[in-house]
A and B are shown apart, each in its own frame.
Chain A
Amino acid sequence: MKEAHEEQANGAKAGQVVIELEGVSFGYGPEHPILQDISFTIPQGQWVSVVGPNGCGKSSLVKLFNALLPAGAGEITVCGMKLEEASIGPIRQSIGMIFQNPDNQFVGATVEEDILFGLEGLCLSHEEMENRLQIYSERLGIAHLLAKHPGELSGGQKQRVAIASILAMEPGIVIFDEASSMLDEGSRDELLSILKGMHAEGRYTLLMITHDADEILASERVLALHGGSLAADVTPAELFRNEELLERCHLRAPYAWRLAGELEERGIQVDVPGSEKELIETLWPYNYSK
């Protein structure tokens, strides 16, 4: 499946750089710098977590990619297009963004109108819009909610509508700006499984601003921001092993990782677990041997 869609993300092949930042800075005037000299590249298909304490510039950073905020300095290239006035339209087509508060991103008066809002902007034919409306509403499990008003939906349902609205536009890059922070546990798990499904398809490059350890663990790479600078570009495992970095980013390792650490301190060596279940599987032989 992943290989089948390798070349579908805006013509980008797997591994090809789709986001490139070179010396990017941003601030609200010279007295209020937010981001300073940020440089990194993100290849197609990668799932990247963006972490850092509140106010460190995570949301500002991702809003620079599609010119929702204007970069003060540096160069941004998305899908091979240098970000400038003429390329804003195509770049916004290739980047989809899902924001924190599902209420504030609901443009249409009904679920159907909200999904159609982006599609009508793409000037698609009626048949194509109908086709995408059906595909993405079914895929996100909201086909039965198309006539509903935002006030009739739960937070999780609203967030699924927001995702369907973005995916229906078929962007290659999807950014989740703390999209799970206002959701309950069940809806969070639902969102995480949607993300895993999207990643498995291989056609999406995913960026997720998050404070959630499980979401970070599911990603492939972590960009840690601190004080407006890129403090670390590491794997989730490297992040969770680095106590100092975790503290700087105001994060905690997942429960299974913390427990494995405690066990190691007491002389019980266990492999780095991906989940609580994996940790139990690792520990089970110890119990059995007794």
Chain B
Amino acid sequence: MTGLAERGMTMNERLLLGRSIETGSWVHKLDARSKITGMLLYVVVILLSRSWMAMALLAVFSVVVMASTRIPLKYFLKAAKPLRYLMLFIFIVQVVSVKEGAVWLSIGSWDLYEDGLRLGAFSVIRMFFLITFSALLTFTTTPGKLNQGLEGILSPFKRFGLSPDRITLMIDISLRFIPTILDESQIIMKAQASRGADLKELPLKEKGRMLVSLLVPVIASAFRRAQDLVYSMEARGFRMDAPRSRYHRPIWGGADTVFILMFVVMGVAVAWL
């Protein structure tokens, strides 16, 4: 392993998914329901942004809100880093496939069109801000509060037979175990490398084969962990859909309404631009 690992950081520290970073900012204090609703509205704002001006406004708004959490911006950038190749791929696909607008550059028989470049850039910007900004939700909300917020938002669907408790528990446990299972994969990869099967040094075909042999022990271990977790939960009296009290009660305040309105105003502004 290189980079962060050499500086003594574990997989858990490197993985930011599902981690809240407490700074006590106004965003941290908001009700999780308003933050989830805000995120959904943010997706709409992104889709409505179709001009360079709108993109610029979106960027300024996103950076200001992210900075107001008092969480260093590098953490938000780290959240987008794993998807940089996907963003590059999307950009290239747009540039290659869109053949509208003025031709900017010609290399042999291939032409670079203005619209291709613009749409490629828009797609990357949209994706970048979607990932970085949505990290704000998990960075400023503990998984427990996030689940309560989700439960609150999903509670109207109870009448249609949906169990919000079940859904939020699944999300909670999945988020909780992602770092653990990644750690375990790393250990198994190292164990295989120590027996001469270093994934990094194998050709692509062999890598594919090795990945299957990696998946089997990882899945087996995940099942074992799941069984242990079930024992631990049941031993603490947990029963699905049984009544539970709540330590953290969500309280909707004026700031929550203002937070939602910010996204509504932004939506109107970018649509107008």
Q: Which of A90-124 contact B (CB under 8 A)?
A: 92-93, 95-97, 99, 101, 103-110, 113, 116-124
Are the C-beta atoms of A109 and B233 separated by less than 8 Å?
A: no
B180 in the interface, Cβ–Cβ < 8 Å?
A: yes
A121 and B13 CA atoms in complex are apart in Å by: 30
B195 close to A (CB within 8 Å): no
Residue of A nearest to B249 (CB): A126
Q: Is A163 in contact with chain B by the CB < 8 A criterion?
A: no
CB distance from B230 to the nearest CB of A (A): 9
Interface size counted on chain B using CB atoms at 8 A: 36
The docked-state distance in angstroms from the alpha carbon of A244 to that of B237 is: 40
Q: B144 contacts A107, CB within 8 Å? A: no
Q: Kindly state whether residue A89 has any CB partner on chain B within 8 Å.
A: yes
- Segment with Cβ contacts to A, from B31-39, B74-82, B101-109, B238-246: B238-246
**Alpha-carbon distance between A165 and B142 when the two chains are bound, in angstroms:** 19
Tell me if A151 is interfacial: C-beta within 8 Å of chain B. yes
Q: Chain A residues near B232: list those with CB within 8 A.
A: 97, 99, 104-107
Say yes or no for B12: interface residue by CB 8 A criterion: yes
CB <8 Å contact, A109 and B18: yes
Query: Given A96, A97, A119, which contacts B247 in the complex, CB threshold below 8 Å?
Result: A119
Q: Is B114 an interface residue (CB 8 A)?
A: no
Given the interface pairs A104-B228, A107-B229, A149-B19, the reply to whether A68 lies near B142 with Cβ below 8 Å is: no
A120-B231 in contact (CB<8A): no
Which of B144, B179, B231, B239 is in CB contact (< 8 Å) with A97?
B231
* Binary B-proximity of A144-157 (CB < 8 A = 1, otherwise 0): 00010111100000
Please pick, from B142, B173, B175, B236, the residue contacting A121 in the complex, using a CB distance under 8 A.
Answer: B236
Q: Does any Cβ of B come within 8 Å of A78's Cβ?
A: no
Query: Contacts A96-B235, A107-B233, A117-B238 given: A123-B176 contact, CB under 8 Å?
Result: no
Chain B hits for A184, CB < 8 A: none
Say yes or no: A152-B12 contact (C-beta < 8 A), given A68-B231, A99-B232, A101-B228.
yes
- CB closest residue in chain A, given B179: A151
By the criterion CB–CB under 8 Å, are A118 and B19 in contact? no
Q: How many residues of A contact B (CB 8 A)?
A: 42
A-B contact count (CB 8 A): 107
What chain B residues lie within 8 Å of A121 (beta carbons)?
A: 236-239, 242, 244
Nearest chain A CB to B89 CB, angstrom units: 31
Given contacts A121-B244, A152-B12, contact A104 B235 (CB under 8 A): no
Chain A: CB-nearest residue to B22:
A147
Please state if A169 and B236 are interface contacts (CB–CB under 8 Å). Answer: yes
With CB as the reference atom, state the residue of chain B lying closest to A149. Answer: B19
Q: Is the CB of B236 within 8 A of A129?
A: no
Cβ-closest chain B residue relative to A97? B235
Q: Which residues of A contact B13 (CB under 8 A)?
A: 151
Contact between chains at B143 and A109 (CB < 8 Å): yes
User: Are A95 and B238 neighbours in the complex by a CB distance under 8 Å?
Assistant: no
Contact with A116, one of B19, B235, B247 (Cβ below 8 angstroms): B247
- Min CB distance A112 to B, Å, is 8
The residue in chain A whose Cβ has the minimal distance to the Cβ of B172 is A109
Look across to chain B and name the residue whose beta carbon is closest to the beta carbon of A165: B236
Is the Cβ of B235 less than 8 Å from the Cβ of A149? no
Q: Does A130 contact B (CB under 8 A)?
A: yes
Chain A residues near B (Cβ < 8 Å) = 63, 66, 68, 89, 92-93, 95-97, 99, 101, 103-110, 113, 116-126, 129-130, 133, 147, 149-152, 165-166, 169
- List 15 A-B pairs, Cβ < 8 Å: A68-B234, A68-B235, A104-B224, A105-B231, A107-B229, A108-B144, A108-B176, A113-B142, A118-B236, A120-B244, A120-B245, A121-B238, A121-B242, A129-B245, A150-B176
